[in-house]
Structure 1
Amino acid sequence: MAAVDPHSFTDSSDPPTTHISLSLYLDFSTATIHGAGLFTLARPHSGPFSLDSRGLSIDAVIEPSSRATIPFTLSSPDPIRGSHLSLTLSNQASFLIRYSTSPSSSALQWLLPPQTFTKSHPFVYTQCQAIHARAVFPCQDTPAVRIRYSARLNIPSHLSAVMAARHVERRPPRNDDALDVVLPSSWCAEGRVVEEFAMEQSVPPYLFAFAVGALGIREVGPRTRVYAEDVAAVLDSAAAEFAGTEEMIREGERLFGPYEWERFDLLVLPPSFPYGGMENPRMVFLTPTVVKGDATGAQVVAHELAHSWTGNLITNKTNEHFWLNEGFTTYAERRIVEAVQGEQRAALNIGIGWRGLNEDVERFKDNLEFTKLKNNQQGIDPDNVYSQIPYEKGFQFLWRIERQVGRPAFDEFLKKYIATFKFKSIDTETFIDFLKANIPGIENLIDLVLWTEGTGIPPDAHEPDSTVYKLIVSLANEFKNGRMPREDEVADWQGQEWELYLDNLPESIETSQIIDLDSRYKLSESKDYEVKVSFLRRAISCGCKTYYNEVEKTLKGVGRMKYLRPLYTALVKGSGNEDGKVFAKTLFSEARECYHPIAQGVVEAIFAKHL
């Protein structure tokens, strides 16, 4: 017997779960879900059977046909993996579990009406990546085990639900919804409704996702609806931003093969969502910060769409091989962007990524293990080592292979790779073996071991080579001599150009220079958070307190970790920065409850390192 994943209690001798039927009663008054799950295994099993759990109260485990109780134990919590739920089975291939979630569930954020766009209705949503599905329902919470599921969400009738699954129906509750397991007596109470869903394709548990609130809808394409809180300005802006989604789907199909998920709907969440986007199949979750008004937010959509082939269809077996999800998806995203928006836009995207890669390699200079593509995460919380490295170093690796063999040959390889491994979870070794079998001799042309197991950035990685990229970097380098770009030079710039410019400014900047730059171009007031946060981070780093009000508004207005991490780090980093540290601690104490639990943990880790 052995663990299949350093982040899971799942045992290699246990049969995998193939299907879970869930009944979930959402109690907004207590921020709790009362649930029942019918679990079906690939084969009957006798003896101990392991599941992951975090913050769940397990009321009973029951044999479905005889109604006999099944013995179980729940361990004290491990700080990373949560609690080990061990059942004692007797030649059983199915069982029922009745349980409740914790109000402090790491996967759920319950928002009060003032924390939402509507200001009048509550909202709840899940975020299960990387190892938080176990905080919504007990499961073999590893991407090595793919499941199908059905779900009945019992919610207040004035709200509606969406899910990363096919919507079956919205209907009144029925007694048999509860799987013959006692759930709250109010299950069939007046004022409740059931939204029923089914996911008929196998997915890793981290892709389990739902949201409940006062939702509105806009149609933007034959396969795509935009959902958001029912506020016209939010819905209309999002629909305009993502109007080109169908074109991106068609380009993805041309490049990577059939789209296997039927629909590609988009949900714009409240500002507290901790990521730019989450690639939940059929229902991508997005931060409202990607709605920029100039269609450039569609690049985040391109990334989540690309996951439909690389990540959702082919999944990393464990988080130690996360680059197989994100490196491939970053490559695929940029191919889609290039096809839809042009080579120069893709080159800017690569340039921003190149800068991010270098910054994160520097971030992990004291722990180079996490600059490897394939790394050891035993005893490591994956949320604490989340970075751009699997995205950008993984992209660079694939781009290196493309340059070696040529794009036409690499495109054929990618299509064969996706067709071969779809609906499977694989590791780095499986990919390397497939690469060597299908591109004979590649190991003699590229150091595959250095790329996958070596630290830092390999010498044959490649900074983008485009006219626009070089011009922006050149202008940024001239800033140290006091030369800021002229208005005619930036007249056509959008957010990406400014982001790239700011990210390439010299580390040592005078306070007067940063104020002069903002005075001319109003970067601190940008509606594009990529630009705004890049500028504010630079301002904080050079000791400029002029913008603390904007920093406060930003950190209290959004919960995306891409913005929280650099701003809080800049505030608390370095000795002799007591004002910044006090300011950061005060801000966090006031904003904490508006952040998702995952984001709260990231900020707390920053404080633990620097305070």
Structure 2
Amino acid sequence: MSSPIPSAIALPADPHSYAGTSPVRVRHLALDLTVDLAHRTLAGSATWHLANPEAASEAVFDTRDLTIELVEKLDKDGTVTHTTYSLDAPDALLGQALRVPLTAETKALCIHYRTAPTAAALQWLVPAQTTGSQPFLFTQSQAILARTWLPCQDSPGIRFTYEARVRVPAQLLALMSAENPRERNASGEYHFRMAQPIPAYLMALAVGDLAFAPLSDRTGIYAEPATLPTATHEFADLENMVGAAEQLYGPYRWERYDLLVLPPSFPFGGMENPRLTFVTPTILAGDRSLTSLVAHELAHSWSGNLVTNGTWNDFWLNEGFTVYFERRIMEHLYGREYADMLQVLGRDALQATIAELGAASPDTHLRLRLAGRDPDEGLTEIAYEKGCSLLLTLEDLVGRPRLDTFIKEYFAHFSFQAMDTATFLDYLRTTLLDEAPGREARLQLTSWIDGPGLPPNAPRVSARRFAAVDQALARLQAGTAPADLRPATAEWSSHEWVHFLHGLPPTLSATELQAVDAAFHFTDSGNAEILAAWFPHTVRAGYQAADPALEHFLRHVGRRKFLVPLYRSLLATPEGQARARAIYTAARPNYHSVTTGTLDALLAS
């Protein structure tokens, strides 16, 4: 039925899971669901096979806004009997603990339940919000939202295998983070299997008018039919990415690697659901210039999915390794100069985050303290870019070949297990730092893990290709007309344009921005990264010609990375505050709860 789950390392209690302190752990899930698009609910049962039911007198599950209709227990022979259960008082963030008593004969528990139409993990889209004529559903379970569509042990330190039966309208296709169908069937019933153990936050479901195109024997693209040709062109290098990743850090352990291009309301750039990464259409730039995001999600197949942060306080162990790995993939495919641009843009984003949080803030530590808070508060550039910078510092200290050996062995040694910061530090010291006297002192490890800001020994990053961008900016400030810069910019990538826009003087008037726009057509760009870097300038200067494009962007794109700074830009201007709230009122139904949770607080201030 399922592959064996390795013995877990000893982890600290997970402050974001009621189940995290329970000694009774799940090992396999049999899920049976019916998707009701009209009423925006999922209904069915979750049968949990238990790894060690004798360890305690009750099993504990995380739930939030679920209606529990019935709980049954199964003995070793599969005999089913009703059992009692209780729900603790609800907590606004964590939901409710579901407690089910166990007997010596209990081997599995079957929980019959129904989701709420407002379940935070689920986004239900009407046809007008898609590129076709059919409704759409997708899930976003990270960090602790799996419990809103599935009673589960919702801790990243608890892994399980699963199988599922999902019923949807016959004109739609269902996909999961598992073995997937390639085309629709007449019945609308689909069966799934995930043989590798995963944590609950990597549970994923999508339902829509979807088609598939293969890219290689193990890679392919799912998307709405109107989007599929563009997506297959954009991601033509996908198999090469997987091959590059394997050369760096060992075999891909998940059999297939497919992408699902979601409608634009998806709140993130991507989500690394095993076997089926969810990606935003905002990376469909037409020139394959934004595919580093795909390299990032692919890298999560090792750092995150294979070796997982034990709690959300250890989030940097997922993301710092993944950013470093992503850029090594991009360097392998496109050269060191290309990867250097990504490093510089990442470092710029890190410095901006440190300035925003405060240089002394404990939220700039790698090891976080998120108890009592939404773990999404740890989803900042600190985990991503400070974590990557630590690995760059290690690379400088021990050399790239030695670091590569360490990382490859780390993934192999802890495959399909969770990892917390303390255990990682012990492993790092034992296998790498203790090889040479004084190495840990030179690394300044404590400053990286439990100190604020960016330690002074972080290596400087630079990009030769950005030197030409800086020269163009200097010429612009010296009085050169924007149109006269066009010959020097003809071969620039998206990254060079973003660096250029970040470097534009913040004092440019609307008239000056009009000349820049006439030369480079930023307002009409189809590149979301360029638009997101351009619009703050137009808002600040009152360049009204860009207003319709800005409003269209805010109403149709749900990616939180872009929306938060753009709404902040509007709110920073007296005339923009009312406009920001008016746009948000109209746009909010297009956004996922992950995005509205942030923007509701921002727009209310």
TM normalised by structure 1 equals 0.92
Q: Which residue of 2 aligns with 1:15?
A: 24
Distance (Å, rounded) in 2 between the aligned partners of 1:61 and 1:263 = 35
Q: Could you say if the C-alpha distance between residues 434 and 11 of structure 1 is closer, same or farther in structure 2, counting changes exceeding 3 Å?
A: closer
Q: Could you say if the C-alpha distance between residues 230 and 428 of structure 1 is closer, same or farther in structure 2, counting changes exceeding 3 Å?
A: same
Answering whether residue 411 of structure 2 is matched by residue 418 of structure 1, we say yes
Q: Which residue of 2 aligns with 1:308?
A: 301
Unaligned residue ranges in structure 2 (runs of 5+): 1-10
Q: Could you say if the C-alpha distance between residues 476 and 380 of structure 1 is closer, same or farther in structure 2, counting changes exceeding 3 Å?
A: farther
Q: Which residue of 1 aligns with 2:73?
A: 63
Q: Which residue of 2 aligns with 1:590?
A: 586
Report SS of the residue matched to 2:366: coil
Distance (Å, rounded) in 2 between the aligned partners of 1:15 and 1:476 = 61
Q: Which residue of 1 aligns with 2:274?
A: 281
Residue of 440, 443, 446 corresponding to 1:446: 443
Answering whether residue 321 of structure 2 is matched by residue 328 of structure 1, we say yes
Q: In angstroms, what is the RMSD of aligned CA positions?
A: 2.0
Distance (Å, rounded) in 2 between the aligned partners of 1:534 and 1:171 = 40
Deviation larger for 89-98 or 500-509: 500-509
- Number of equivalences: 584
Q: Verify the 8 A CA contact 2:315 2:378 in the aligned structure 1.
A: no
Q: Which residue of 1 aligns with 2:460?
A: 463
Distance (Å, rounded) in 2 between the aligned partners of 1:31 and 1:477 = 54
Distance (Å, rounded) in 1 between the aligned partners of 2:375 and 2:602 = 15
Distance (Å, rounded) in 1 between the aligned partners of 2:571 and 2:575 = 9
Distance (Å, rounded) in 2 between the aligned partners of 1:192 and 1:585 = 44
2:498 maps to amino acid: E
Residue of 590, 599, 603 corresponding to 1:603: 599
Report SS of the residue matched to 2:50: strand
Aligned pairs for 1:28-427 within 5 A: 28-45=37-54, 46-64=56-74, 65-91=78-104, 92-118=106-132, 120-167=133-180, 192-231=187-226, 234-365=227-358, 368-427=361-420
Distance (Å, rounded) in 2 between the aligned partners of 1:463 and 1:535 = 27
Q: Verify the 8 A CA contact 2:24 2:58 in the aligned structure 1.
A: no
Report SS of the residue matched to 1:265: strand
C-alpha distance after superposition, 1:110-133 (max 9, x if no partner): 111111111x11111111111111
Q: Could you say if the C-alpha distance between residues 312 and 31 of structure 1 is closer, same or farther in structure 2, counting changes exceeding 3 Å?
A: same
Shift of 1:207: 0.7
Q: Verify the 8 A CA contact 1:397 1:451 in the aligned structure 2.
A: yes
Q: Could you say if the C-alpha distance between residues 477 and 541 of structure 1 is closer, same or farther in structure 2, counting changes exceeding 3 Å?
A: farther
Deviation larger for 564-573 or 96-105: 564-573
What percent identity do the matched residue pairs reach? 38
Shift of 1:397: 0.5
Shift of 1:403: 0.9
Distance (Å, rounded) in 1 between the aligned partners of 2:163 and 2:118 = 25
Aligned pairs for 1:559-570 within 5 A: 559-570=558-569
Shift of 1:163: 1.3
Q: Could you say if the C-alpha distance between residues 480 and 6 of structure 1 is closer, same or farther in structure 2, counting changes exceeding 3 Å?
A: farther
Q: Which residue of 2 aligns with 1:580?
A: 576
2:137 maps to amino acid: V
Distance (Å, rounded) in 2 between the aligned partners of 1:466 and 1:225 = 33
Q: Could you say if the C-alpha distance between residues 342 and 5 of structure 1 is closer, same or farther in structure 2, counting changes exceeding 3 Å?
A: same
Distance (Å, rounded) in 2 between the aligned partners of 1:22 and 1:169 = 21
Distance (Å, rounded) in 2 between the aligned partners of 1:127 and 1:358 = 28
Shift of 1:311: 0.8
Distance (Å, rounded) in 1 between the aligned partners of 2:423 and 2:24 = 22
Shift of 1:260: 0.4
Shift of 1:73: 1.8
Distance (Å, rounded) in 1 between the aligned partners of 2:475 and 2:72 = 70
Q: Verify the 8 A CA contact 1:354 1:463 in the aligned structure 2.
A: no
TM normalised by structure 2 equals 0.93
Report SS of the residue matched to 1:150: strand
Q: Verify the 8 A CA contact 1:62 1:68 in the aligned structure 2.
A: yes
Answering whether residue 521 of structure 2 is matched by residue 522 of structure 1, we say yes
Deviation larger for 106-115 or 74-83: 74-83
Unaligned residue ranges in structure 1 (runs of 5+): 173-190
